[in-house]
């Protein structure tokens, strides 16, 4: 079974631009979560989606948004990019929503903002 696929692997953007990251979960998984990973802040939770509905949202500004499609694939969008948005963005999927459903992570998208 294929793992969580994130595209693209690397992105370089300029301040003020916007970016869209994509995540395809493991087949049959219906829950998708997004995390931002930086050396200073570690792993910080962005959003969680289940059945196309946002179930949880982290403490990030409104420039960060996401959505989930009917096939469980998910995208996240960051508008008006800032230098501090440079990070590894990780997507994770799980079969169902719930605290006892382990997350399976993709290899991430490395975003660099210049």
Q: Which of 90, 93, 111, 113 binds other proteins (CB under 8 A)?
A: 90
Select from 14, 54, 50, 15 the least CA-distant residue to 30. Answer: 50
In the Cβ-directed half-sphere of 99, how many Cα atoms lie within 13 Å? 0
Residue 27: how many CB atoms within 10 A of its CB? 11
Q: Say whether residue 42 binds other proteins (CB under 8 A).
A: yes
**Among the residue ranges 11-19, 22-30, 54-62, 70-78, the one whose residues contact other proteins (CB under 8 A):** 54-62
Q: Say whether residue 100 binds other proteins (CB under 8 A).
A: yes
Q: Say whether residue 66 binds other proteins (CB under 8 A).
A: no
């Amino acid at each position: 079974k294929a793992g969580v696929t994130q595209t693209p692997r690397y992105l370089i953007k300029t301040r003020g631009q916007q970016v869209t990251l994509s995540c395809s979960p493991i087949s049959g998984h219906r829950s998708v979560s997004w995390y931002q990973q930086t050396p200073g802040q570690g792993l910080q939770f962005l959003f969680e989606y289940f059945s196309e509905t946002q179930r949880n949202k982290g403490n990030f500004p409104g420039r960060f948004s996401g959505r989930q499609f009917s096939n469980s694939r998910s995208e996240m969008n960051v508008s008006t990019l800032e230098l501090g948005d440079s990070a590894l963005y990780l997507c994770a999927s799980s079969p169902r929503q719930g605290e006892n459903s382990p997350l399976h992570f993709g290899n991430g998208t490395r975003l660099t903002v210049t």
